[in-house]
Amino acid sequence: MKSAFEAAQQYFDEAATVMDLSHSMRDLLVTPEREIKVQVPIKRDNGEIATFIGYRMQHNSARGPMKGGLRYHHEVNADEVLALASLMTWKTAVVDIPYGGAKGGISVNTKDLSLDELERLTRRFVDEIHDLFGPDKDIPAPDMGTNAQTMAWIMNQYEKFHGFAPACVTGKPVELYGAEGREEATGRGVGTLTLALLRKFGRSIESSTVAIQGFGNVGTFTASYLHKAGGKVVAISDVSGGVLNRAGIDIQAALDWVTEKKSLANFPGGDRITNEELLTLDVDVLIPAALGNVLTEDNAKDVRAKYIVEAANGPTTPEADTIFRQREISVLPDILANAGGVTVSYFEWVQNQQYFRWDLSRVREELERTMTRSFDKVWSIANEKKVPLRTAAYLLGIGRVSRATVLGGI
């Protein structure tokens, strides 16, 4: 299996070939502007010293300050972070918000640390890199293993060096200048574009069945949105396994169960299935909303969904993507499908820069407008160039970044 960066590079190369992009421009666009790797030592609650490694990859700033999540996970490494940083460059360009791409992370298992230890880890990481990010340089946001509380610590620590600067990070608690609707943004965006994709094929959500792998932040809000829109969500899953109910899962009951039990284990709303089985169910729409590389060369031939909407980052390997193209399964790529999060992060940043707050209805209205406008543009390019939606999205994103690069000069 290709590494995360190799997979991202392959998708980039396919679009660059269609564009007839020069090799010199390709090299410039794929090479990160800065790679940061720092030691992050902390004192544990028991008095011992623990040392972790932190990363921040700043990929491209041709279209504005760089933007990207910060993840805490024991498998975080430089290759993965660089791949995700490059995806952010194209993602922000696809939805046409004035950002470049970045990504960060700390290699740590958060389950091994107390809340106080996580706070010390976060603050020490900011100590190491505070001069390299900020409102007009690089704006972090929550990702896997981090949340609004983490962002609050980052803002507080950053402001000790630089003064009041709420725009230094997004995904903050609403009480600390966060945006209404930020928590739901990625899942709501996925839901919005699922409906848009079905409409392009003359389908309605009311007549469609949906399976969602992953019932964390993105999966829960996606499920809720589609359920309220009249869709039948027949399967959901998390790390404990999945649940299948052909009559449709009671999403509110599942949400209540997870809120109380912290997992879908033993949820009584359907039959137990594995995460692997969920991916090959006979449904109209499959939404991978968990980890990357879950759709591979090994299981792509068994996928029976007609449409795949990538809510997770990099859930489809290039080999699986080729098989889906051959089987005429439409894939809405991650750099468009899950861009709702960074879009509302942009709205939060705008509000922070203006010292003015939008209400939830305006956030939702602007999100839907931005996402559907971007989807329509990608759909148009795909039809015009006779290319898959993924290639069309890359054509749009790379085109915008390369033009900004040429206009700005070296």
Q: Which candidate in 91, 103, 232, 306 is catalytic?
A: 103
DSSP state string for 312-360: SSS-B-HHHHHHHHHTT-EEE-HHHHTTHHHHHHHHHHHHHHHT----H
* DSSP-assigned beta bridge partners for residue 67: 101, 139
- d(CA 176, CA 162) in angstroms, rounded, equals 17
The DSSP element (H or E) to which 162 belongs, if any, is helix 148-162
Inter-residue contact 177 to 188 (CB < 8 Å): no
Residue 175, CA distances (Å) to 29, 171, 172, 226 in order: 38, 11, 8, 29
Give me the amino acid identity at 390: R
Question: How many other C-beta atoms lie within 10 A of the C-beta of residue 191?
Answer: 28
Strand locations in 204-320 (E)? 209-213, 232-238, 241-244, 271-273, 285-288, 307-309
Residue 201, φ and ψ in degrees, nearest 5: -100, 10
Residues 6+ apart with CB under 8 A from 193: 309, 332, 336, 337, 371, 372, 375
Inter-residue contact 86 to 59 (CB < 8 Å): yes
Inter-residue contact 31 to 58 (CB < 8 Å): no
- Cα torsion angle, 350, 351, 355, 356, sign: positive
261 has catalytic annotation: no
Residues taking part in catalysis: 103
